[in-house]
Amino acid sequence: MRTELRTARAAAYERARPEILDHVPLTARRVLDLGCATGTTGAALKARQEAEVTGIEIEPDYAREAEPRLDRVLCADAATVPDDLHGPFDALIAADILEHLTDPWTTLRAYADLLAPGATVVISLPNVAHWSAYAFLARGRWPRKPEGIFDATHLRWFTRRDALDLLTQAGLAPHTVVRRRWLLTRGSRLDRLAPPLTLFTFQHVIAARKPA
């Protein structure tokens, strides 16, 4: 990965994700992390509870860094379930990866088949209905950036309803939706003042359950 690209994406892809871990049950013993990046989220999970974490990561540099942090790392394209990956898993994490895939609907169904009954799935997806998208379109442009809503590598775009449909078509039952808010500049103190509305939501974190 180019140094300048990695630097631009570091804050989004190389930190532990507490907003994701909040929804992974303490009882989960086998966890699969799609697009695990450098493995920091999985490492934080292992530090919190006794769990075996398997990561799938397409970027070789990230995968090498994740290897000492996780129990197993497969350097592969998560779009297709690796032949040597076997369930059942108690939890599946798909944080900011599904929007990068050509067919996230088929992919999520395939991984759902590897989950134990009652397993938890936690996904995060950028919200294309954020006010900034309308602002750029009003100016006749669609930006392409290193990360975030307008990540240049995104192939699919989701609203809240689209994200919920993605889970239900995979046979999963969504039960919790968290709106991560962005008022003016993402990460500013003003974000806490943003109303809990779609226009001010830059990302949805959704937890779902595989029915028993």
Counting beta carbons within 10 angstroms of the beta carbon of residue 162, is it exposed (0 to 12), middle (13 to 18) or buried (19 or more)?
A: middle
Report pLDDT for 186: 60
Closest by CA to 128, choosing from 191, 25, 198, is 198
Q: What is the DSSP string of 169-196?
A: HTT-EEEEEEEEE-SSSTTSGGGGGS-S
Report pLDDT for 197: 80
Closest by CA to 105, choosing from 164, 176, 52, 51, is 164
Work out how many domains the chain is built from and give that number. 1
Cβ–Cβ < 8 Å for 128, 198: no
Q: Structural domain of residue 59, as residue ranges? A: 3-209
Distance CA(152)–CA(134), nearest Å, equals 17
**Mean pLDDT, each 10-residue run in order, the chain (212 residues):** 53 81 98 98 98 98 97 98 96 98 98 98 97 95 93 97 98 97 70 79 97 93
Please report, for the domain that includes residue 158, its CATH number: 3.40.50.150
